[in-house]
Structure 1
Amino acid sequence: MSVQIPETMRAAVLREPGKGLRVETLRTPRPNADEVLIKVDACGMCHSDLHVIGGAIAFPMPAVLGHEVAGTIVELGQGTEHTGLAVGQRVAGAFLMPCGRCPACATGHDELCGPFFDLNRLKGVLYDGTTRLATPDGDPVYMYSMGGLAEYAVIPATSVAPVPDEIDTVPSAILGCAAMTAYGAVRRSGLQYGETVAVVAVGGVGSNICQIAAAMGAKQVIAIDVSDEKLAPVTGFGATATVNSATSDAREKVLELTGGRGVDVAFEALGIGPTWKTALDVLSDGGRMVPIGLGAGVQTAEVEINRTVRRSQSILGSYGARTRVDLPAVVDMAARGEINYKDLVTRRFSLEQAGEGYDLLRQGGIVGRAVVDMSL
């Protein structure tokens, strides 16, 4: 099967931190060895993109962001013949793109892939040390993950999973970050059937944590946020109770809901000091706090040392997930209806409206998750 691939494409380009995104014409990228090219149907809009857009996290410029995508494979690079991937196949792409060869990847720890951090996250390139994106004149444009805010994107073959026909393509873009990050956190938190959970900050990732924790057997799932608007929908995503920590004492409310114990596992999904404190405050003796949210630049959070030590509490950092095993599992949960990914997508923007969407996200104006829909 062959597909006609245009020489150029549209992409939302960030040329300077704080200056916003501008749609430009770039050369259509082509895959190198062990990579695939997809025609992007949709790209999710993640809070961590804001750190790059605003300049809180340094990244090479100009750049194309966007790290959770859904689309169709239109070209295969060399070495992908035995992956089971094929031109014409619909796939979801994950933000965490393991090289598959480093010591961490060799032991199954995709989330600790050294080349991903050293090359992609620091230099905006793929694993041969070059970017796949360029202006029509040939000037390099750097890639945050696969650079999914574009009509076409190159992704390492390790980082895509086929999606079945019953999956709705556009909202499925969130499976590769919001859902996969939540799955990785819950799966490796040690959550046991019948344990209690709190989720602090219920945006796209936090809402997914609620429903995945419920699907994995949590007895109580308590959603905590400072916005009643964001808390309102989460009872439809597995939360058994909600707490507004801006208008009430989260610790007192959680103790009341759990018979004075606190929760076994508290997930923190925003990456700021106050939400870290809340997550630690609601923990039971022997509980686990699992931070997921990325801070803007270098941030710190206070930990009450004696309480953590005396009450045998743990802090278990969780970055993304183990892409090669977790992304297919997330797609399967979505296909079987265990993840309600469709209703989590509450806003759709065209590529030209991407900057507007990120402005709303920065202002806290997005409930759930927004996506850039390439058909608009």
Structure 2
Amino acid sequence: MRAAVVRQPSGPFEIEQVRDPEPAAGEILVQVAACGVCHTDLHVHDGSVPFPFPCVLGHEVSGKIAAVGDGVVDLRVGDRVAAGFIMPCGSCRLCVAGREELCERFFAHNRLNGTLYDGRTRLYDADGGPLAMYSMGGLGELAVMPELAAARIPAGLPLADSAIFGCAMLTAYGAAHHVAALQPGESVAVVGAGGVGISLVQVARALGAAQVIAVDLAADKLAAAQRAGAGAVVDASAVDPVAAVRELTDGRGADVVFEAIGLPATFRQATEMAADGGRCTMIGIAPAGRLGEVEITRLVRRKLQILGSFGGRPRTDLAELMRMTLAGLLDPTAAIGRRFSLDQVDEAYGLLARGEIVGRAIVEM
């Protein structure tokens, strides 16, 4: 098959012939229809998040099942599926407790070593050299993943566009529902109107937020946030974003603030936008070792909550996101701003790094 391989930190995404992968027990082989272009891949690509090289990135996919390994229970060859970037093992302490977004085997094997849970990768180059997998290594024509990472796509939903359920939408839903416990009637500020931010706007509206404010520096991204359902936008290049959010919320601040960038400055701004007793839910990934600041006295006296959120729970949340979409509450297609071919992967990530992608881009195979 063909796949986009990165051989060294900050190196190009080169299209190579890679050996066709095969699923082991409990795994499925998916013929990839589309893979999302996510900013988290850039942190791995430039080495700011430690990960082995050479590797195949891409962690947000949809496609059709081409083969299944022994012991696969629910999915069948030919099923259309979307796959979450978190790939739960289903058996570790946290998976059993229903906290699969913190799956111990996922972090110990995949995120540290680029393998699946038997300690082996499923990807090898034409010479037989191993290629590390970031999640399922979705920037290729075929991808192997645990069955528990994937959910069947209902009839009526587009195959390629459903890729973004696996990270952008899953991350947004996990943050809003599981972590922030967003309640109907609450006010929300979303700092960062990229792929995840646009998804957060949609999810917050779907969960009943009374007011959704999007904050960004780019006019085109703010316009996209408005199209996604933001009732107000703040251009942080022109005004003080903290003061603007407070003004839009009658001086109180937002009940829930989502930070979807991962910068120290926006981390602090998010805490200052929150209302008394507010929840600051931090989603943006930063380079390893980067710190965020918060004013200690305000944190204590105003009883702020600072909450970290990493993805969602594929075994339940993917199906719920698809149900919400069929009900007309979400629109993944509206979040997709650009489409690329596999041969254009290097261009796609270059545009993403320069902030020139509005919404979520996908690579269609």
TM-score by length of 2: 0.98
User: In structure 1, how many angstroms separate the alpha carbons of the residues matched to 2:330 and 2:41?
Assistant: 24
User: In structure 2, how many angstroms separate the alpha carbons of the residues matched to 1:337 and 1:71?
Assistant: 22
Q: What does residue 298 of structure 2 align with?
A: 307
1:168 partnered with 2:158? yes
1:26 partnered with 2:12? no
User: In structure 2, how many angstroms separate the alpha carbons of the residues matched to 1:217 and 1:311?
Assistant: 25
Q: Which amino acid aligns with 1:371?
A: I
- How far off its partner does 1:335 sit? 2.6
Q: Which amino acid aligns with 2:153?
A: V
User: In structure 1, how many angstroms separate the alpha carbons of the residues matched to 2:323 and 2:346?
Assistant: 32
For residues 149-171 of structure 1, the C-alpha deviation after alignment (integer angstroms, 9 at most, x for no partner) is 00000010000000012111111
In the alignment, structure 2 segments of 5+ residues that lack a partner are: none
- How far off its partner does 1:228 sit? 1.2
User: In structure 1, how many angstroms separate the alpha carbons of the residues matched to 2:86 and 2:349?
Assistant: 21
RMSD value over aligned CA atoms?
Answer: 0.9
1:287 partnered with 2:264? no
In the alignment, structure 1 segments of 5+ residues that lack a partner are: 1-8
Matches within 5 A, 1:97-136: 97-136=87-126
Q: List, as ranges, runs of 4+ consecutive aligned residues in structure 1 with deviation greater than 6 Å.
A: none
Q: What does residue 48 of structure 2 align with?
A: 56
Identity in percent: 50
User: In structure 2, how many angstroms separate the alpha carbons of the residues matched to 1:142 and 1:337?
Assistant: 38
1:95 partnered with 2:106? no
Q: Which amino acid aligns with 1:18?
A: S
- How far off its partner does 1:177 sit? 0.1
User: In structure 1, how many angstroms separate the alpha carbons of the residues matched to 2:15 and 2:37?
Assistant: 16
- How far off its partner does 1:145 sit? 0.2
Identify the match of residue 60 of structure 2 among 68, 72, 80. Answer: 68
Q: What does residue 218 of structure 1 align with?
A: 209
Q: What does residue 5 of structure 1 align with?
A: none
Find the residue that maps to 2:2 and give its secondary structure: strand
Find the residue that maps to 2:265 and give its secondary structure: helix
TM-score by length of 1: 0.95
Q: Which amino acid aligns with 2:152?
A: P
User: In structure 2, how many angstroms separate the alpha carbons of the residues matched to 1:307 and 1:123?
Assistant: 40
Contact 1:20 1:53 (8 Å CA) reproduced: no
Contact 1:94 1:327 (8 Å CA) reproduced: yes
User: In structure 2, how many angstroms separate the alpha carbons of the residues matched to 1:15 and 1:207?
Assistant: 32
Find the residue that maps to 2:308 and give its secondary structure: coil
Find the residue that maps to 1:70 and give its secondary structure: strand
